[in-house]
Amino acid sequence: MNLVKFVGLGPFGATGIDNLWDSNMFHRFFVVLSKNLIHELKFGGIDLNRKRKVAVLSIASNSLLLLLKVIAGMVSGSVSILSEAIHSSMDLIASLVAFLSVSSSGKPADKEHPYGHGKIENISGIFEGLLIFVAAGMILLEAIKKIMHPTAIDNTLLAIAVMMIAALVNFFVSKYLYKVAKEEDSMALEADALHLKTDIYTSLGVGLGILLLKLTGLMILDSIVAIFVALLIIKEAYELCYTAFGQLIDARLSEQEESEIIRVIERVNQEHQILDYHKLKTRKSGAMKHIDFHITLPSDLTVKEAHDRIACLKKELDTQVRNTRVSIHIDPKDRSEVEG
């Protein structure tokens, strides 16, 4: 399969890129995409929270960069630019998936989903990672073909300029996405930001490869850079899938997060005469951190006194750790056993 045609397999359907261009399908695609986004923003009656707004920003930037890279790749004939176009087509699909996932994961818990919908973002992360693996495989195949049958690159200055513009745009967009992802604790946005962060390095690498090709005349450099791009993408995909899958199967929180939880519990224990805590278990669903543990209280406390201590623990944990759902089991103990 020709790499140029594969770019058309992303968001545009199973048609060669040349036919798409001749029939103005690119133009129609971006017009329809823009109109749909504007309609949802203005007339859909949907309250776009901060996460969804930055997801829309990612969709817009990926759409623009995909168009620029396809044009530059077709004009120059550079396999490394066309490999970048494949990556951007996957980035666009990933940003659309991120938008849908943050829209769904923020829904409140209901009868069928009493723990909420947070794991949708983890599923989204795995899906995005698999998309990156597919893109990397296609880039490697095409790069190997170009090594065996090298072709010259035209309009190198245009190609280099497009790559530098792509790197600059992705730098600012990914930086903002990371900021919001960390503040909102969003797996989907973090995955989207990771896509764009890798795109920065690959765009710079492609631009450098074309520059070296222009200076040295070695056409194999373009394919070598494309292979390097694919390897970076594979590394990104592995890290993304590993993190998302870990949360999906209820891996514990990080050491740093658990240390903060323990610090809060021990401080409250000293202030409110909680004898000890044990059987601490943690997991994460979307942005929500689930914390389960046992505490030991004097057996002569009233129900209200025991409830007040638990309420204090939950309040402190939610204040210090944020986005927590805490479940605490009480184990009674006679004061005589404690004093003895």
Question: How many other C-beta atoms can be found within 10 angstroms of the C-beta atom of residue 35?
Answer: 10
Q: Taking 70 as the threshold, does the pLDDT of residue 112 lie above it?
A: yes
Where is 155: in which H helix or E strand?
none
Could you identify the residue written with the tokens 């829209």? 103
Q: Taking 50 as the threshold, does the pLDDT of residue 18 lie above it?
A: no
Domain boundaries, the chain: 3-248, 255-339
pLDDT at 335: 63
pLDDT at 339: 57
pLDDT at 6: 32
pLDDT at 26: 42
By percentage, how much of the chain surpasses pLDDT 70?
82
Q: Which residues contact 165 (CB under 8 A, 6 or more apart)?
A: 65, 68
- 268 near 313, Cβ under 8 Å? yes
Where is 118: in which H helix or E strand?
none
Question: pLDDT, tens digit, for every residue of 238-279?
Answer: 888 888 888 888 888 888 888 989 988 888 887 777 888 889
Mean pLDDT (the chain, rounded):
77
- 134 near 7, Cβ under 8 Å? no
Q: Which residues contact 338 (CB under 8 A, 6 or more apart)?
A: 275, 298
Provide the whole-model pTM. Answer: 0.65
pLDDT at 281: 93
Phi, then psi, of 276 in degrees rounded to 5: -165, 175
Helices (H), the chain: 3-7, 17-22, 25-43, 50-76, 79-105, 119-148, 156-184, 187-216, 220-248, 255-271, 303-321, 335-339
Distance, CA of 82 to CA of 6 (rounded, Å): 10
Distance, CA of 328 to CA of 300 (rounded, Å): 18
Side-chain half-sphere CA neighbours of 267 within 13 A? 13
Q: Which residues contact 40 (CB under 8 A, 6 or more apart)?
A: 46, 48
Q: Taking 60 as the threshold, does the pLDDT of residue 170 lie above it?
A: yes
CATH number of 255-339: 3.30.70.1350
Query: Nearest to residue 239, comparing CAs of 308, 190, 273?
Result: 190
Q: pLDDT band at 294, cuts 50/70/90? A: very high
Q: Taking 90 as the threshold, does the pLDDT of residue 292 lie above it?
A: yes
For residue 323, the 8-state DSSP code is S
Q: pLDDT band at 156, cuts 50/70/90? A: confident
- 138 near 6, Cβ under 8 Å? yes
Burial of 24 (0-12, 13-18, 19+ CB in 10 A): exposed
CATH superfamily to which 3-248 belongs: Cation efflux protein transmembrane domain (1.20.1510.10)
Q: Taking 90 as the threshold, does the pLDDT of residue 29 lie above it?
A: no
Distance, CA of 157 to CA of 214 (rounded, Å): 9
Distance, CA of 146 to CA of 40 (rounded, Å): 43
Sign of CA dihedral 309, 313, 319, 323: negative
pLDDT at 4: 35
Coil, helix or strand at residue 92 = helix
The reply to whether 255-339 shares the fold of 3-248 is no
pLDDT at 291: 92
By percentage, how much of the chain surpasses pLDDT 90?
4
Query: Nearest to residue 230, comparing CAs of 155, 319, 141?
Result: 141
Q: What CA–CA distances, in Å, run from 223 to 98, 143, 147, 237?
A: 31, 5, 6, 21
pLDDT at 288: 82
pLDDT at 237: 82
Distance, CA of 64 to CA of 56 (rounded, Å): 13
Q: Taking 80 as the threshold, does the pLDDT of residue 182 lie above it?
A: yes
Work out the average pLDDT over 109-121.
82
